[in-house]
Amino acid sequence: MYCSVHFLAQKANKNIVFVVGIYGNQEFSLVMKKLLLSSVVVLIGFTFIGRLSYLQLFRFSPDQILDDPAIKKVYDYPERGYVYDRDGKLLVGNQPAYDVMVIPREVKPLDTLEFCGLLGIEKDQFLSKMEKARIYSPRLPSVLVPQLSKEDYAKLQEKMRHFNGFYIQKRSLRYYNTKSAANVLGYISEVNEWDLKNNPYYVAGELKGRTGIEQQYEEILRGQKGVKHIQKDRFNRDIGPYKGGKLDTLPQQGKEIHITLDKTLQEYGEKLMHGKRGGIVAIEPKSGEILAMISGPTYDPALLVGRERSKNYSKLHYDTISKPTWDRSILAQQSPGSPFKTLNALVALQEGVINEDTKFRCYHGFYVGNTLRGCHCGGGIRDLNSGIYQSCNAYFAGVFRKIFDKYNTTDKGMDVWEKHMKSFGLGDYLGTDLPTGAPGRIPDVAYYDKWYGDGRWAASTIISNSIGQGEIAATPLQLANMTAAIANRGYFYTPHIIKSIGNNGKIDPKYTEPNYTTIDRKHFDPIIEGMANVYNYGTARWVKIPDIDIAGKTGTVENFIRVDGERMQLTDHSVFVAFAPVENPQIALAVYIENGYYGSRYAGHIASLLIEKYIKGEITRTDLEKRMLEKTLEHEYAKPYSGEPFKINEYEW
């Protein structure tokens, strides 16, 4: 059989020889035989070198230390920076918390009952947690009981050495020295997948500022963590520092920051907001610093720290009716109401279409075409001053028309009006150093062209804007900023919350440069006079504070909601903007109380209390203060959800 195979093979061999056509003689065959093994060795050598070049030269990347399973990074976290108010009062600090950790493999038999007693948990709970830890990993530490109180920690600490495999790990949690300003301060929470994907700094399990200044100034507050590279074996056991610690870094401490809030004013304002919804923003006009930023309802920031955190968070987050985590002071975009009249007057003065003596007649309202739109001012002839302090709708409707009449086309008039309004920081994000915000709305030509059609609208169509209703919308922050611009007679500083960072204190220069409005300084005086008279003779004469000259403007804003698809009107929003003192203003604020009815009723009172508190440091009108602290609007907020017919704008309160 072998012979025949050989014969066939030899025949085939001849053919192959024929094909190659170069060998066939005996000598060459011998050389081939001698060279065969050498060629094989050389060939193998080249193949190996080729493959090794591919692996070690082509595929090698110096970054692979990052995913080297043999190197574990251990982080050393610096303490998060403290937060102080404008006067150096502590707002946010840190507190230690203690986690009881377990490494299941190292646990030795123990007195379970005693241990559970010390930890304050049930035996079943203990056993199930131990089982969970074991399933996660017998070799790695798991949290057995998170965030023990200081008292429990003290008790446990002495006995801990009797329990093998357990140890206590200290963590740092936020400590709040106030029950206020939750939305401004924000909270921190564990990083999520999105953070991990988008910021290589973070590692799973780390904490990150989530809202408010914790988010905005995250990098300053958190500092820079230190890292140690630890060499591991395949069982994940430490076997010493990697490269003797050459790549390790030290942590950099987080810096403390001072914010512009006035702790006293903030806390007082939140007390006054008790039972009311809305937003209050107070600004120091000469610097743009935000003195208070209040949203009602609010919550105690300490709720979002510690063991109950996630439970509390769900409760707050899913309260979709009163929305405590929604910062109304910067997010609620609503019609500004009558305070906006002052801007319309300023634009008209700047455009030269009115002067202080320009008069309009109020027919207890004004006519648009043949329909009469109402006014509460009492009727009669109004000039600029009384138009403002009596908040006459007819007067400002007239002013608004005059602005548009100056120009040949409505579009041109609209453009001019829009430009003036936007110079007050309305209709766009203000650029504050807060992570959230809302642009509000100043409608423009395009907006109305879309709404009504090109050329199918005129000043009279959009006349509601003259009195701060209509399509315009602004946040309380924008209203406060607008008031600050009036107080400064024509310019404002971008409102901001940061006062100083660390020791050198530098903040972004954009907060220290004034933004000028398009209105000349001289036009502000008559407006401010009118606003001052609001207190002297006008809509807020009942809330005058002795010894302090205030300029203010009330607003009463009609509003509607939809409940189950049914549109209904609710009690008017109570709005008030003010600054004081009139000469050398120290505080400008906007108070927006939802469904508070008259501007002076809630907003006006609260504004006057805040001004008194800020300027005098104490309240003389204790009766008023008591009334404001106790009054709530819960009954108003319950109305649309009661399912029964209800009255709005009730006289009794």
Partner 1 sequence: MNGRGPFGRLDWISVILYALLVFIGWINIYSTSIGETSTSIFDFSTLYGKQTFFIGLAALGIIFVLFVESQFFERFASIFYIVSIVLLLGLFVFGKTIAGATSWYDLGFFNLQPSELAKVATSLALAKFLSDIQTDIRTGKHQMYALIIILLPAILILPQPDPGSSLIYFSLFFVLFREGFPIYYLGILIFAVVIFATTLMFGTVWVSIGLIILTLLIYTFKRASVKIPILPVLGVIMVSILFSLSVNFVFENVFEQRHRDRFALWLSLEKDEDKLDEIRKTIGYNTYQSEKAIESGGFTGKGFLEGTRTKGDFVPEQHTDYIFSSVGEEWGFMGTASVILLFSLFFLRLIYIAERQKSDFSRMYGYGVISILVFHYFINIGMVIGLLPTIGVPLPFFSYGGSGLIFFTMLLFIFLKLDSNRLKDGI
Residues engaged in binding partner 1 (CB under 8 A):
1-3, 5-6, 9-13, 15-16, 18-19, 21, 32-34, 36-38, 40-42, 44-45, 47-49, 51-53, 55-57, 59-60, 62, 64, 68-71, 231-234, 239-240, 242-243
Tell me how far, at minimum, the Cβ of 16 lies from partner 1, in Å. Answer: 6
Nearer to partner 1, 33 or 170 (CB): 33
Largest CA-CA distance found in the chain, in angstroms, rounded: 132
Tell me how far, at minimum, the Cβ of 40 lies from partner 1, in Å. Answer: 7
Tell me how far, at minimum, the Cβ of 62 lies from partner 1, in Å. Answer: 7
Tell me how far apart the alpha carbons of residues 608 and 579 are, in angstroms, rounded to a whole number.
10
Nearer to partner 1, 46 or 452 (CB): 46
Nearer to partner 1, 49 or 561 (CB): 49
Nearer to partner 1, 21 or 509 (CB): 21
Nearer to partner 1, 73 or 373 (CB): 73
Kindly report whether the peptide bond that precedes residue 297 is cis, defined as omega within 30 degrees of 0.
yes
CB-based burial, 146-157: b 16+ in 10 Å, e otherwise:
ebbeeebbeebe
Give residues with Cβ within 8 angstroms of 222, minimum separation 6.
78, 80, 81, 207, 208, 209, 254
Nearer to partner 1, 16 or 140 (CB): 16
Tell me how far apart the alpha carbons of residues 208 and 190 are, in angstroms, rounded to a whole number.
6
Tell me how far, at minimum, the Cβ of 243 lies from partner 1, in Å. Answer: 7
Residue with tokens 């006459």: 392
Q: Is 215 exposed, middle or buried (0-12, 13-18, 19+ CB in 10 A)?
A: middle
Tell me how far, at minimum, the Cβ of 570 lies from partner 1, in Å. Answer: 57
Which of 266, 284, 280, 288 shows the shortest CA–CA distance to 496? 288
CA distances to 90, 95, 402 from 150, rounded to whole Å, are 21, 10, 70
Tell me how far, at minimum, the Cβ of 136 lies from partner 1, in Å. Answer: 19
Backbone phi and psi for residue 465, each to the nearest 5 degrees, phi listed first: -60, -25
Nearer to partner 1, 243 or 541 (CB): 243
CA distances to 152, 369, 648 from 148, rounded to whole Å, are 6, 72, 51
Kindly report whether the peptide bond that precedes residue 581 is cis, defined as omega within 30 degrees of 0.
yes
Tell me how far, at minimum, the Cβ of 14 lies from partner 1, in Å. Answer: 10
Nearer to partner 1, 19 or 321 (CB): 19
Tell me how far, at minimum, the Cβ of 196 lies from partner 1, in Å. Answer: 21
Tell me how far apart the alpha carbons of residues 96 and 91 are, in angstroms, rounded to a whole number.
17
Tell me how far, at minimum, the Cβ of 73 lies from partner 1, in Å. Answer: 13
Nearer to partner 1, 21 or 643 (CB): 21
Which of 403, 384, 394, 391 shows the shortest CA–CA distance to 458? 403
* 562-571 own/partner pairs: CB under 8 Å, 24+ apart: 563/640, 563/641, 568/640, 569/648, 570/595, 570/636, 570/639, 570/640, 570/648, 571/595, 571/596, 571/597, 571/636, 571/639, 571/648, 571/649, 571/650
Sheet holding 289-296, edge to edge: 289-296, 278-284, 587-593, 566-580, 551-563
Nearer to partner 1, 32 or 203 (CB): 32
Q: Per the structure block, which two tokens stand in for 93?
A: 């600090």
Tell me how far, at minimum, the Cβ of 51 lies from partner 1, in Å. Answer: 5
DSSP SS3 for 224: strand
Tell me how far, at minimum, the Cβ of 41 lies from partner 1, in Å. Answer: 5
CA dihedral 46, 50, 55, 59 (to 10 degrees): 170
Backbone phi and psi for residue 647, each to the nearest 5 degrees, phi listed first: -100, 150
Which of 554, 623, 546 shows the shortest CA–CA distance to 581? 546
Give residues with Cβ within 8 angstroms of 109, minimum separation 6.
none
Tell me how far, at minimum, the Cβ of 247 lies from partner 1, in Å. Answer: 12
Q: Judge contact between 430 and 511, C-beta under 8 A.
A: no
**Strand 360-362 with 380-382, pairing:** antiparallel
Nearer to partner 1, 229 or 341 (CB): 229
Nearer to partner 1, 239 or 372 (CB): 239
Nearer to partner 1, 37 or 321 (CB): 37
Tell me how far, at minimum, the Cβ of 12 lies from partner 1, in Å. Answer: 6
Tell me how far apart the alpha carbons of residues 294 and 401 are, in angstroms, rounded to a whole number.
36
